[in-house]
Every structure is written in C-alpha cells, then in structure tokens.
C-alpha cells in the first residue's frame, strides 16, 4: 500500500512538471485520473510501428498517451454512456489539441460508434 501511494505521488509530481496542456488530473484510490477527449487511430496506421516498437494493431486493446509509461493499463470510460474498456499504453499521442488519449478502433467501438469520432472520457490508471 505504501509503495502504491508513493507511485501515485511520484506520478502526480512528474505530471505536474509536464506540459501545461495536461489538465484535469487527480489522484484516486486506484491511481491517476484524467478527463478529456478521446479519438481512435486512422486505419492507415495499422501495421506501422508504435513509439514502443510494437506493430500497431487496430484489433488490439491498446492506446496512445502523451506521458503515461508504456505498458500502463488504463480504464477508459465514456462519460456519456458510462461504458468502459481497459487498454494498455503502447504509443505516444494524441497530437491534436484537446485530446488526451487515442484508442484502437476496436477499443473505441466498445465505447461508442466510430462515427462519433471524438468522445469525452475519463482515463484512470489501474496498473
């Protein structure tokens, strides 16, 4: 429990020193929570290498985040319908202002129709 609390504190300290575009972070009993917009990768990225060196797979349950460490597991919840998925961070991004996470199409489809394009979400680090 002490180690978990230290990791949360350290993570918050690191995030506090990062880009000023990162807002809406808070500590919870399970980790770091952030609110903002989510989108999904375009099909053209399927098969390309991610920042972690993995091949990008639209059918995987993975995501891109600007600062969270690779292999972090996060729970992403659509605030409009309360649907959630758990994804693993394996890439960097998104690089469009106002977005906090990019999901694979498969993960996004669990939260909303792809035609939605961008949805409001809560992202919570769970591992």
The per-residue pLDDT for range 73-93, each reduced to its tens digit, is 999 999 999 999 999 999 999
Q: What is the mean pLDDT of the chain?
A: 83
Higher pLDDT, 85 or 28: 85
Cα-atom radius of gyration of the chain, to the nearest Å? 14
The mean per-residue pLDDT over the stretch 42-55 comes to 94
Tell me the CB-side half-sphere exposure of residue 121, using CA atoms within 13 A.
Answer: 30
Grade residue 22 by pLDDT with cuts at 50, 70 and 90: very low
CATH topology for 2-125 is Barwin-like endoglucanases (2.40.40)
For residue 54, pLDDT beyond 90: yes
Phi, psi of 14, deg, nearest 5: -65, -45
The mean per-residue pLDDT over the stretch 92-97 comes to 94
The per-residue pLDDT for range 56-66, each reduced to its tens digit, is 999 999 999 99
Higher pLDDT, 18 or 51: 51
Predicted TM-score of the model (pTM): 0.77
Q: Would you say 64 and 40 are in contact if contact means Cβ atoms under 8 Å apart?
A: no
Higher pLDDT, 56 or 17: 56
**Domains in the chain: boundaries:** 2-125
């Amino acid at each position: 429990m002490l180690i978990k609390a230290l990791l949360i504190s350290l993570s918050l300290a690191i995030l506090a020193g990062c880009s000023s575009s990162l807002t809406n972070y808070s500590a919870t009993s399970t980790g770091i929570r952030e609110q903002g917009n989510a989108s999904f990768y375009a099909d053209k990225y399927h098969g390309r290498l991610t920042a972690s060196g993995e091949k990008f797979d639209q059918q995987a349950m993975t995501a891109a985040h600007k600062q969270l460490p690779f292999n972090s597991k996060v729970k992403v919840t659509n605030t409009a319908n309360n649907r959630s998925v758990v994804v693993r961070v394996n890439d960097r991004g998104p690089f469009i202002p106002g977005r906090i996470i990019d999901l694979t199409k498969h993960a996004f489809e669990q939260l909303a129709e792809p035609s939605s394009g961008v949805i409001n979400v809560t992202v919570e680090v769970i591992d």
